[in-house]
Amino acid sequence: MYLRVSDISKHYGCPKGIKPLLRNLSEVSGYPEVDYSVRGGTEALTIGNAAHRVVQYVLENPPEKRDKIHEEVQDALNSIKQDVRMPSLISEILGEDFLTGAIHDQLLMSSWKECRNLLDCSISLLGFLEDIPGSEGKWEIKAEMKIHGEGVSSENVYQKNIFGSTTLLHGSIDLVFEYDHYLIVAELKTGVFAEWKKKTWELQTQIYSDACNFIYPDKKIAGIILHKGLIDGYNPVSRDSHWADSLDDSGKTIPGEHCQYCDQKLSCNDSWFKQINSIR
């Protein structure tokens, strides 16, 4: 069996919401791939994907090139505000068709803001990490590092007992910062800030940190979430290796504002979404 980390965090660990998302590995050929296209189902998703892509483009460069690329991307982003036109560098990063079929100026301006904010948060985190003595200019950064699949040795496959079945966890970490024996799991977040969203981001980061702790036992692991609404743009997240313990009874519910993203939001008796709609 396998489960996507994003499906667990999206439901804030609600067992009833998560149970139908448990998949049988034998029903899929190989590991299902993550969709890396920038255009998402909604404008908010598209803007979030764009910000991820821009930040990953800058930070994935080797340390000696990173400052120069950061400056070039920052200049290109700033030119959007002034010219209300897509600069060629950003178009190269996001793909020629990024603005196709969209309300051009609106998507461009919203994307500019999110890209700039998330890039500032990420550079601020890098500055913080570089305070570790000897690490300045030496952090290697990987984007979309998988916790499953070919890159993970067979003895380090990360799995948990979920609803009585041994379950493989699938997911890709937005950014992994590595220096010496340090490995930092960083999740990039966009959109309007809300405390309930922060809890779901923390759960996702806890799971990824626990996975890295298992896969790379010699590393010192830390988890961090990044969002413009957090002080300094980032926040540490403590690791919890017992996060799956509550996924034992599929009848249990954890209602909350995350219910709005659950497929059972209209049928589940405990649904926060249903209760709120009945009050209105």
- Which residues make up the interface to ligand SF4 (CB under 6 A)? 11, 14, 16-17, 253-255, 258-259, 262, 264-265, 268, 270-271
Tell me the closest approach of the beta carbon of residue 44 to ligand SF4, in angstroms.
20
183 bridge partner residues = 178, 221
Tell me the closest approach of the beta carbon of residue 20 to ligand SF4, in angstroms.
9
Nearer to ligand SF4, 136 or 257 (CB): 257
Cβ count near 223 (within 10 Å): 25
Nearer to ligand SF4, 23 or 146 (CB): 23
175 by DSSP, 3-state: which?
strand
Quickly list DSSP for 111-123. HHHHHHHHHHHHH
Bridge-based pairing state of the strands 165-170 and 159-162: antiparallel
Tell me the closest approach of the beta carbon of residue 9 to ligand SF4, in angstroms.
12
* Token pair for 236: 């540490």
From the number of C-beta atoms within 10 Å of its C-beta (0-12, 13-18, 19+), residue 50 rates as buried
Tell me the closest approach of the beta carbon of residue 272 to ligand SF4, in angstroms.
6
Tell me the closest approach of the beta carbon of residue 172 to ligand SF4, in angstroms.
23
Quickly list DSSP for 45-92. HHHHHHHHHHHHHHHTS-HHHHHHHHHHHHHHHHHHHHH-S--HHHHH
Nearer to ligand SF4, 37 or 275 (CB): 275
CA distance 222 to 173: 13
Nearer to ligand SF4, 172 or 271 (CB): 271
Cβ count near 83 (within 10 Å): 10
Nearer to ligand SF4, 219 or 265 (CB): 265
Tell me the closest approach of the beta carbon of residue 10 to ligand SF4, in angstroms.
9
Nearer to ligand SF4, 199 or 265 (CB): 265
CA distance 206 to 8: 11
